[in-house]
Amino acid sequence: MGVDTNAFLTSSSGPFQHAIVEGVLKEAGIEYDVRETSALSWLGVQPTEGYLSREHFWVPEERLQEAKDILCANGIVCEVSGRLLRRSLEEIVKPLLGAKDRNLDRLLRFVEINNKETVRALFDATLDENGGQDLLEDLFFHLATAGEGGFRDLRILARALQKRVGDPFWERFLAAAVGGAKEVRLALLQVLPELPLSPQRVEALVRALRDKDGEIRDAASEALFAIQKVDFGYDPEDPQAEREEAIERFLKTLPPRWE
């Protein structure tokens, strides 16, 4: 393929992503060209922010949009529309800021149908608005009740909130993670590793590790390993005394006031 007829599609961040992009393009029958940054420089192309990775995919210009749509449909690379973002902020988010008994249906619909990059961009823009933090915290706990259908968006929102959560959020989180319905507790345990270290996060995790329900303990065990990268010998199926010994080993790694 000639250089003059090709357009830049995306960069791969490593062998795994490279293989996925390559597989999707092959399956769609879209020809592509892979170039290294050094090759681009030799051709007189100055690498921009989009070219920072080692290898870059180029496709025929007439199939560029098709290739972008296919990658996005497969959850690999999605563009964020500035126009869509601005319009959603004005028409969906701002009417909800500071409102009493706000109806989250339109916002829920937006996050349900859009790709994860667009959803995260709207969350970040909302956090910059006065009252945006409260709105997204309400949305967070609403999504926690949505079951598996809302888990992707709950995880995205947890990552957006992770550097901004304070005591009001943690009070709601702990109440739901300890005393909420089982489905809510399981959802919150799944996103627990996305939230910052805090005494409340530790308490929620430890209470779940000690829970009588084996499914809750299993989810807590997965959260423990995701957070600590070790399980301290904890097995949700072990007798209570052995589980407690593992929990104590975990607690000894924490500041005394968090035990």
Domain segments of the chain: what residues? 3-73, 80-164
Q: Name the pLDDT band for 13 (thresholds 50, 70, 90).
A: low
Structural Rg of the chain based on CA atoms: 23
Average pLDDT over residues 132-160: 88
pLDDT for 259 beyond 80: no
Helices 182-191 and 199-209 pack at an angle, to 10 degrees, of 130
* DSSP string for 12-79: ESSHHHHHHHHHHHHHHT---EEEEHHHHHHTTPPP-GGG-SSEEEEEEGGGHHHHHHHHHHTTS--P
**Model-wide pTM > 0.75:** no
Note whether 89 and 124 are within 8 A (CB).
no
Pick the CATH number of 3-73 from 3.40.190, 3.40.50, 3.30.70, 3.90.550: 3.30.70
pLDDT at position 49 over 60: no
Q: Is the dihedral of CA 35, 39, 44, 49 positive or negative?
A: positive
pLDDT of residue 16: 76
Contact 153, 114 (CB under 8 A): no
Locus of tokens 């062998």:
15
Model confidence at 92: pLDDT above 90: yes
pLDDT tens digits, one per residue of 210-230: 999 999 999 999 999 999 999
pLDDT above 60 (res 181): yes
Q: Report the pLDDT averaged over residues 18-47.
A: 73
Q: Which pLDDT score, from 0 to 100, does residue 157 have?
A: 94
Name beta bridge partners: 35.
56
Q: CA–CA separation, 215 vs 213, rounded Å?
A: 6
Determine the residue type at 13.
S
